[in-house]
C-alpha cells in the first residue's frame, strides 16, 4: 500500500441463516405459505402462476425463460413492491425455477437494502442448486449472471410434488447436479442412494426423491458454509464439471442440451483428466463413471475438431471472472476436490478424443 496512515479498521459482520423446510405434500406447503403475513410480494412466472387456482393479489407474474432474466424484470418486481407499499420487514416469495428464484432474491436484496426472502423452488435443479447458497443474479449485455448479490433466503420451502410438473428433460437436468454432489460428498451415502434407488428416482417417487434432495443439499451446505462468498477456493469446488459444461453449452448454443446434462458430461471430463493425471485410481474412476452411466446422460459425447477453437474461447470467457487463469475442479476421491490450471493441449485431447487409454499408475 501507499503512504497514508490507516486510522480505523471497521468490521461489519452479518450472519445469515437459511432454514430449509420439506413438505410432506402440497397441503403441507400451502399451510406453511399461509403462515407468511399479507405483508408479502409473490413472484411467479408464466409457468408457475397457472399451478395456483387463486393467486394472491399482491403478485408479479414474470415472463418465463432465461431471456427475461434482466434488469427490466427486476424493475417490475421492485415497482410492484412499491405499489403494494411493502416495507423492509416484508417478504418476497418466489415460486419457480432458477430464473424466478435468482431474480426475486436479487430484487429482495435491493429493495430498501433488503427484505425477507422465501424461495419455493419448483424444479429439481433449483432445489438442489440455486435455492440454497445465496447467489442472486440477472444476465446483462449478453453476460450470464453478470449482475447479482449474495443474499441467502430466510426460508426455502421444498415440496417434491411440484417435480411432477417437470418435463423429463428438466428433471434429468436436475439429476446432473445431484450426481455431481455425490462425487463432492465426503462419504458415499448419496452415491449409494443414487445406485440403490435409481428406479424410484427416475419414476419420481416422492419420498425417495425428497431423501435424495436432502442428501444433495447437505453436500452443497458443506461447501457454502465454509466459503459463503466464494473467496477461499472451497465453494468453487461446486463448479466441478462446470467449466467444461459452460463451454459445451456455448458451442451447442444452448439448444437441446440441458444445463444438468452438460454438467454431467463435464464431470466425466474432470474424471478423465483426474485419472490421467494420476489423482484418482482406476477403482474410483470406474465407480464414478458407473454412476453417470446408470442415468440417461450422454457421457461419451465428443467435441468436434472444428469446434475446438470456439470451445477454447468459451473457456477463456469463464476465465475473465478472475483476472488470473482459469482453474478446473478435479478430484482426488469422494469429497476431495482440487483446483488446477490445466494445459490446454490436455483439455483439447480429452474433449475431442476421450481419455487416454492408460494412466500413469
Residue numbers 35-94 binding a copy of itself by CB under 8 A: 35, 39, 71, 75, 78-79, 82, 85, 87-90
Q: Does 240 bind a copy of itself (CB under 8 A)?
A: no
Q: Give the nearest distance from C-beta 260 to a copy of itself in angstroms.
A: 22
Q: Determine which helix (DSSP H) or strand (DSSP E) holds 331, and give its type and residue range.
A: strand 328-331
173-232 positions binding a copy of itself, by CB under 8 A: 214, 217-218, 221, 224-225, 228-229
Q: Give the nearest distance from C-beta 88 to a copy of itself in angstroms.
A: 6
Q: Does 167 bind a copy of itself (CB under 8 A)?
A: no
Which CB sits closer to a copy of itself, 133 or 268? 133
Q: Does 332 bind a copy of itself (CB under 8 A)?
A: no
CA atoms within 13 A on the CB side of 42: 20
Q: Is the dihedral of CA 14, 19, 217, 321 positive or negative?
A: negative
Which CB sits closer to a copy of itself, 112 or 294? 112
Q: Give the nearest distance from C-beta 3 to a copy of itself in angstroms.
A: 5
Which CB sits closer to a copy of itself, 70 or 348? 70
Q: Does 325 bind a copy of itself (CB under 8 A)?
A: no
Using alpha carbons, list the distances in angstroms from residue 49 to 63, 99, 130, 226: 10, 14, 20, 36
Using alpha carbons, list the distances in angstroms from residue 93 to 59, 90, 264, 270, 335: 9, 10, 31, 37, 33
Q: Does 315 bind a copy of itself (CB under 8 A)?
A: no
308-329 in b/e form (b: 16+ CB < 10 A) is beebbebbeebeeeeeeebbbb
Who's near 286: CB < 8 A, 6+ residues apart?
A: none
Which CB sits closer to a copy of itself, 226 or 282? 226
The residue within the footprint of a copy of itself, chosen from 26, 309, 322, 344 (CB under 8 A), is 322
Q: Does 15 bind a copy of itself (CB under 8 A)?
A: yes
Q: Give the nearest distance from C-beta 303 to a copy of itself in angstroms.
A: 26
Q: Determine which helix (DSSP H) or strand (DSSP E) holds 126, and give its type and residue range.
A: none
CA distance 94 to 81: 13
For the chain, how many residues are written? Answer: 361
Q: Is 275 helix (H, G, I), strand (E, B) or coil?
A: helix
CA distance 99 to 242: 18
Q: Does 23 bind a copy of itself (CB under 8 A)?
A: yes
Q: Give the nearest distance from C-beta 295 to a copy of itself in angstroms.
A: 24
Q: How many residues touch a copy of itself (CB under 8 A)?
A: 76
The residue within the footprint of a copy of itself, chosen from 98, 121, 152, 241 (CB under 8 A), is 152
107-136 positions binding a copy of itself, by CB under 8 A: 109-114, 132-136
Q: Does 16 bind a copy of itself (CB under 8 A)?
A: yes
Which CB sits closer to a copy of itself, 20 or 351? 20
Which CB sits closer to a copy of itself, 150 or 308? 150
Residue with cell 429439481: 124
In contact, 245 and 262? CB cutoff 8 Å: yes
Amino acid at each position: 500500500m501507499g503512504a497514508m496512515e490507516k486510522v480505523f479498521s471497521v468490521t461489519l459482520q452479518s450472519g445469515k441463516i437459511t432454514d430449509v423446510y420439506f413438505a410432506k405434500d402440497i397441503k403441507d406447503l400451502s399451510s406453511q405459505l399461509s403462515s407468511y403475513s399479507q405483508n408479502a410480494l409473490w413472484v411467479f412466472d408464466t409457468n408457475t402462476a397457472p399451478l395456483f387456482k387463486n393467486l394472491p393479489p399482491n403478485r408479479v407474474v414474470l415472463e418465463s425463460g432465461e431471456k427475461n432474466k434482466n434488469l427490466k424484470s427486476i424493475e417490475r418486481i421492485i415497482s410492484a413492491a412499491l405499489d403494494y407499499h411493502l416495507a423492509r420487514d416484508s417478504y418476497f416469495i418466489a415460486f419457480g425455477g432458477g430464473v424466478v428464484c435468482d431474480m426475486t432474491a436479487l430484487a429482495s436484496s435491493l429493495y430498501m437494502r433488503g427484505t425477507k426472502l422465501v424461495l419455493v423452488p419448483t424444479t429439481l435443479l433449483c432445489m438442489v442448486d440455486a435455492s440454497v447458497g445465496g447467489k442472486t443474479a440477472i444476465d446483462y449485455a449478453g453476460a450470464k449472471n453478470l449482475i447479482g448479490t449474495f443474499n441467502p433466503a430466510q426460508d426455502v420451502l421444498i415440496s417434491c410434488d411440484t417435480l411432477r410438473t417437470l418435463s423429463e428433460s428438466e428433471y434429468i437436468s436436475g439429476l446432473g447436479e445431484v450426481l455431481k454432489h455425490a462425487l463432492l460428498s465426503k462419504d458415499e451415502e448419496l452415491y449409494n442412494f443414487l445406485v440403490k434407488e435409481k428406479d424410484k428416482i427416475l419414476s419420481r417417487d416422492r419420498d425417495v426423491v425428497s431423501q435424495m434432495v436432502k442428501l444433495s443439499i447437505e453436500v452443497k451446505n458443506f461447501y457454502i458454509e465454509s466459503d459463503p462468498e466464494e473467496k477461499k477456493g472451497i465453494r468453487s469446488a461446486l463448479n466441478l464439471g462446470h467449466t467444461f459444461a459452460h463451454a459445451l453449452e456455448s458451442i451447442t448454443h444452448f439448444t437441446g442440451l440441458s444445463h444438468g446434462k452438460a454438467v454431467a458430461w463435464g464431470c466425466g471430463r474432470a474424471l478423465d483428466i483426474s485419472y490421467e493425471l494420476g489423482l484418482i485410481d482406476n477403482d474410483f474412476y470406474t465407480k464414478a463413471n458407473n454412476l453417470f452411466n446408470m442415468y440417461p446422460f450422454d457421457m461419451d459425447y465428443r467435441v468436434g475438431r472444428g469446434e475446438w477453437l470456439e470451445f477454447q474461447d468459451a473457456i477463456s470467457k469463464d476465465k475473465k471472472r478472475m483476472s488470473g487463469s482459469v482453474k478446473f475442479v478435479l478430484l482426488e476421491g469422494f469429497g476431495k476436490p482440487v483446483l488446477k490450471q490445466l494445459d490446454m493441449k490436455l483439455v483439447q485431447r480429452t474433449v475431442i478424443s476421450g481419455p487416454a487409454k492408460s494412466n500413469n499408475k
